[in-house]
């Protein structure tokens, strides 16, 4: 059918819309200056296309919206809680669920509980402990360090090389993992985190074979595995496309297989579960009952009673539906195609990107702006220029986000300097992607005159959110 375009039209009808305002380049220069050259600090009405994050920014479905009306707002043991835990059991096979207000709400429960357990049982000092991941997301890393435990990433060697194409760039390097466990000592590893998809490496998937091997190794050494699974459905979609054994499985069947290879899962439900707010902490069975009980106690303190965890009843109903809606294969295909379209459009301009992943285009700012050193944040400078040119907001994933060593205050080494354009679900259309590609053609023309940035205010932790900067002239 050659008369049809070579892309899938968006597989949904848009019925509720949010107006956006266009601004001039002159206005945007002023807004950027007022925001201390930090797009995180811009008001949303000053942004034309907002690609800061795909977290809680996408469309919800009719079924999700209508489910909210069923909310049971009882403080304890509500119908809505039971509906949510029923969905978790059905999809993931996990027996006990704690709702949380978002992903980091789950992290602030399980991270201290697992580290406390290790300390209690081994008598070892937490300062000597190291948690390991294919790549820690920044808040997971932050909570671990806040609990005085170190972090170690053992991603595949090709993960951050934008010149290499590979099916599962999110995988653990299994040899490096085994070596790290032996070096640190198994009792000094309080947990392993399998992040699916691997956000920091560019939304790259992890294969089922890799998840299985990690779990076998962890069981051998007696280390609990936590699945950090904000993008569980996108991961399953890639597994279906790329891991032969699963080519004929449904997204739900692949999901249920993947979750066999962890003991606990921690989910920011603001991504693949499509909700604007919400998170989940779930336990496969009672084998970590002491951790489960400590998480429930911490939940009362930090999030709310463990059968609502900071969510209203209606939000739990919406999440129970969103978990299923997010596994719609047509939508996943359309979403992945949107990202492939954007990445191939940018590459056609000669702009190097990480191979298309699940939720974002990752532009290799280090390659585009080789004259800006890492300590002047090429990804962030590119983000500011893109906003100035076209009102498009992205986020740096590079040295600025990586931050400094807690003890020495030295900048931590960063494997790549990316600008991330995260794509909200079912929110932008093909026309927006053409506009973004056209904006980059202009940015590329200006590349050699783009300057790096330096701090005027540098927060101590998670500095990228609130930092203020100025051009390093
Ligand atoms: C892999 C991963 N884990 C955890 C989180 C934290 O979740 P939240 O932003 O809902 O607190 C995120 C958020 O982007 C994430 O991508």
Digit-coded pLDDT (tens) for 97-153: 999 999 999 999 999 999 999 999 988 889 899 999 999 998 999 999 999 999 999
The pLDDT value recorded for residue 1 is 62
Q: State residue 324's pLDDT score.
A: 98
Residue 71 has pLDDT above 90, yes or no: yes
Nearest to 471 by CA among 388, 397, 366, 352: 388
Q: Residue 187's pLDDT band (boundaries 50, 70, 90)?
A: very high
28 Cα–ligand 1 center, Å = 29
Judge whether residue 241 has pLDDT over 90.
Answer: yes
pLDDT band at 310 (very low <50, low <70, confident <90, very high): very high
The set of protein residues with a Cβ atom below 6 angstroms from ligand 1 is: 55, 102-104, 137, 139-140, 195, 199, 228, 230, 268, 270, 279
Is 271 known to be catalytic? yes
Active site annotation includes 230:
yes
CA 397 / ligand 1 centre spacing (Å): 14
Average pLDDT over residues 365-376: 96
**Which one of the listed residues 271, 296, 359, 388 is annotated catalytic?**
271
* pLDDT value of residue 365: 97
Residue nearest to atom 8 of ligand 1 (CA): 103
b/e code 100-126 from CB counts within 10 Å (16+ = b): bbbbbbbbbbbbbbbbbbbbeeeeeeb
Q: Mean pLDDT across the stretch 77-103? A: 98
Mean pLDDT within 453-467? 90
Residue tagged active-site, from 7, 75, 220, 465: 75
Query: What sign has the CA pseudo-torsion 399, 189, 461, 50?
Result: positive
For residue 102, give the ligand 1 atom closest to its CA.
10
* Residue 228 annotated among the catalytic residues of the structure: yes
- In the set 228, 263, 272, 364, the catalytic residue is 228
Residue 292 has pLDDT above 90, yes or no: yes
pLDDT tens digit sequence for 384-430? 999 999 999 999 999 999 888 777 888 888 889 999 999 999 999 99
Among 58, 106, 109, 139, which residue has the most ligand 1 atoms within 8 Å of its CB, making it the best to mutate?
A: 139
- CA–CA separation, 316 and 78 (whole Å): 10
Active site residue 138: yes
**Backbone angles phi and psi of 169, in degrees to 5:** -70, -10
> Which residues, in sequence order, are CB contacts of 391 under 8 Å at separation 6+?
22, 23, 28, 46, 47, 48, 49
Provide the Cα torsion 181, 399, 358, 208; round to 10°.
Answer: -10
Return the pLDDT at 411: 87
pTM of the model: 0.95
Kindly list the structural domains of the chain, giving each domain's residue range(s) and its CATH number in brackets, ordered by start: 25-54+329-471 (3.90.1150.10), 62-326 (3.40.640.10)
Give the count of beta carbons closer than 10 Å to the beta carbon of residue 260: 13
Q: Is-contact 64 321, C-beta < 8 A?
A: yes
Cα(29) to centroid(ligand 1), Å: 30
Specify the pLDDT at position 339. 96
Contact 187, 118 (CB under 8 A): yes
Going by pLDDT thresholds of 50, 70 and 90, the confidence category of residue 269 is: very high
Rounded to the nearest angstrom, the distance between the alpha carbon of 320 and the centre of ligand 1 is 19
pLDDT, average across residues 302-315? 98
Cis ω for the linkage preceding 197 (within 30 of 0)? yes
């Amino acid at each position: 059918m050659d008369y049809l375009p070579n892309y899938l039209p968006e597989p949904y009808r848009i019925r509720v819309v949010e107006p956006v305002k266009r601004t001039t380049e002159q206005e945007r220069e002023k807004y950027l200056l007022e925001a201390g050259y930090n797009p995180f600090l811009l008001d949303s009405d000053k942004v034309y296309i907002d690609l800061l994050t795909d977290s809680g920014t996408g469309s919800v479905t009719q079924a999700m919206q209508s489910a909210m009306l069923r909310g049971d707002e009882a403080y304890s043991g509500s119908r809505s809680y039971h509906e949510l835990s029923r969905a978790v059991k059905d999809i993931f096979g996990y027996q006990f669920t704690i709702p949380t207000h978002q992903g980091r709400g789950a992290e602030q429960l399980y991270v201290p509980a697992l580290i406390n357990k290790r300390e209690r049982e081994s008598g070892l000092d937490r300062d000597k402990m190291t948690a390991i991941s294919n790549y820690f997301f920044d808040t997971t890393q932050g909570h671990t360090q806040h609990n005085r435990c170190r972090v170690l990433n053992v991603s595949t060697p090709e993960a951050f090389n934008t010149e290499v194409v590979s099916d599962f760039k999110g995988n653990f390097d299994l040899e490096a993992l085994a070596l790290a466990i032996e070096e640190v000592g198994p009792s000094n590893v309080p947990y392993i985190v399998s992040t699916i998809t691997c956000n920091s490496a560019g939304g790259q998937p992890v294969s089922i074979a890799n998840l299985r091997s990690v779990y076998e190794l962890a069981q051998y050494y007696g280390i609990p595995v936590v699945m950090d699974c904000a993008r569980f459905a996108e991961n399953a979609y890639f597994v279906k496309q790329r891991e032969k054994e699963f080519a004929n499985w449904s997204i739900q069947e692949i999901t249920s297989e993947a979750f066999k290879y962890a003991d606990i899962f921690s989910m920011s439900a603001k991504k693949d579960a499509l909700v604007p707010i919400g998170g989940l902490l779930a336990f496969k069975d009672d084998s970590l009952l002491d951790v489960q009980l400590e998480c429930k106690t911490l939940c009362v303190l930090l999030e709310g009673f463990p059968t609502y965890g900071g969510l209203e009843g209606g939000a739990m109903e919406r999440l129970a539906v969103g978990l299923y809606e997010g596994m719609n294969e047509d939508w996943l295909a359309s979403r992945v195609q949107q990202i492939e379209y954007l990445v191939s459009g940018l590459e056609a301009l000669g702009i190097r990107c990480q191979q298309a992943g699940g939720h974002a285009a990752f532009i290799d700012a280090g390659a585009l702006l080789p004259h800006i050193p890492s300590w002047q944040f090429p990804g962030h400078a590119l983000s500011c220029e893109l906003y100035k040119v076209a009102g498009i907001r992205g986020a740096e994933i590079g040295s600025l986000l990586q931050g400094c060593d807690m003890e020495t205050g030295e900048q931590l080494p960063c494997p790549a300097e990316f600008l991330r354009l995260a794509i909200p679900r079912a929110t932008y259309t093909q026309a927006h992607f053409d506009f973004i590609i056209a904006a980059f053609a202009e940015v590329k023309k200006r590349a050699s005159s783009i300057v790096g940035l330096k701090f005027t205010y540098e927060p101590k932790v998670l500095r990228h959110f609130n930092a203020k900067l100025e051009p390093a002239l």
